Amino acid sequence: MKKKAAPVTVDLFEQAVERLVALGKDADVSDQLMAGLSRPKAMLYASLPVRLDDGSTEYFDAFRCHYSQLLGPSKGGIRFHPDVNRSEVQALALWMTIKCALVGLPFGGGKGGVTVDPKALSRMELERLSRAYMRAMVDFVGPDKDIPAPDVQTNERIMGWMRDEYEVINGEQQPGVITGKPITLGGSLGRTEATGRGAFLCTEFLRNKEGKAAEDLTVAVQGFGNAGYHIARLLQEAGYRVVAVSDSKGGVFAEAGLDVEGVWEEKQATRLLKAVYCDGSVCETTDHDNITNAELLALPVDILVPAAMENTINADNVKAVKADWIVEVANGPISMEADLLLCEAGKVVIPDVLANSGGVIVSYFEWVQNRSGYPWSLDEVREKLEAKLSTAFEEVWQTQHQREQISLRSAAYSIALTHLDGVLRAKGTKEFFRNGT
């Protein structure tokens, strides 16, 4: 009997560097920059001992990466997930480096995470884990060194615990040490919705460029967490027809369109996805089909929004994708091979480094507010977010259309790398010292 082939393990960091090198060929940048961006600046590993509610102690692997600090202190989220590992953290920090450079933020790339299933922990265990993480990383982070934020399965409460632990250790108030905090602990209005709102704005920019009407476009959202919910909600409010959403357990589909708010309220109440229509506090189930995540990715919709995890669309399923536009709300949801196939098929992909940059942009706004001691209104935050994204999208769009045969992703990387290269050249490269000018 023939044995089944062992599954191929994807090294996410190797894949991210391979994509960086390939896309870097479209940018006229120094070899020194590409060599420097092919490896992280610093990486910290820690084993976190956490006392569980039953009195036992469990150990959790924890990571924090400073990928680049060419533009300023490192910036990047902290995720709590069973699949967190060194390779993933380094890849995410590399993408954050490109993202900050693309949208013009004074930050380098960073990322962190803990290998844990947070859903298996009690609230008190989760607090102990969060504080243990900050104790382990306290010398590695700081408002002028590395500023963490929420990511997959972390939230504003966890960020609040981490800020508090940092301040207890250092004996002084430092609200700028972390972003995505509760408003009462120095957070910014508009931060919770920022990633989803930013992706929505990018979708709107593309729609206007293509001359389409929102009412004529159907949407499927794979990943119905915070970011997936907010982009789905905003798209529906703007007139798009959101026909499907899913989470890790599966999804729901309704050809006539879903009531996004009703589905979200049901999920918060029961942890189940159901097509529900809510009128005030009264909700009732409406007609819908239950679908798998694989089925959602293959739906004949106009816009597909992968908003879950890395490599969701890969060589095995890319040919099933029918959507003409793909908006990457997750980090790295399309593998390099799948990305090339989508480009060849004429699909338009708004890359993650642009589409999901709303989160880090508003995190930057929060950091600025913390540093100045002057909070902004929600309208100010939204207006500044739209202005910054509009500028970045227009630059990517124009770059892509000025060159033949390149994707929006290639244009985005070219802009980011050129920005980083300018900083490096100002400090001095081989060419400068060799030529003596």
> Which residues belong to the active site?
111
Which of 354, 310, 315 has the alpha carbon at shortest distance from 331? Answer: 310
C-alpha dist (Å) from residue 159 to 50, 74, 285: 18, 16, 35
User: And the tokens for 123?
Assistant: 């609230």
H-only helix segments in 177-218: 194-210
| Contact indicator for 107, 74 with CB cutoff of 8 Å | yes
In which residue are the tokens 């409010």 written? 237
| Contact indicator for 318, 342 with CB cutoff of 8 Å | yes
SS3 content of the chain, % helix, strand, coil (to 5): 45, 20, 35
CA distance 179 to 301: 35
In which residue are the tokens 């306290």 written? 138
The SS3 call for residue 359 is helix
CA distance 436 to 432: 6
C-alpha dist (Å) from residue 348 to 59, 61, 96, 158, 204: 44, 38, 22, 36, 14
Q: Could you give the angle at which helices 226-237 and 260-270 cross, rounded to 10 degrees? A: 150
Task: For residue 150, give the H/E element and its range.
Answer: strand 146-150
User: And the tokens for 234?
Assistant: 């905003």
CA distance 2 to 265: 49
In which residue are the tokens 């309208």 written? 379
In which residue are the tokens 């949801």 written? 333
C-alpha dist (Å) from residue 435 to 83, 110, 428, 430, 431: 48, 34, 11, 8, 6
Which of 50, 413, 186, 81 has the alpha carbon at shortest distance from 111? Answer: 81
Residue 387 half-sphere exposure, CB side, CA atoms within 13 Å? 7
CA distance 183 to 350: 31
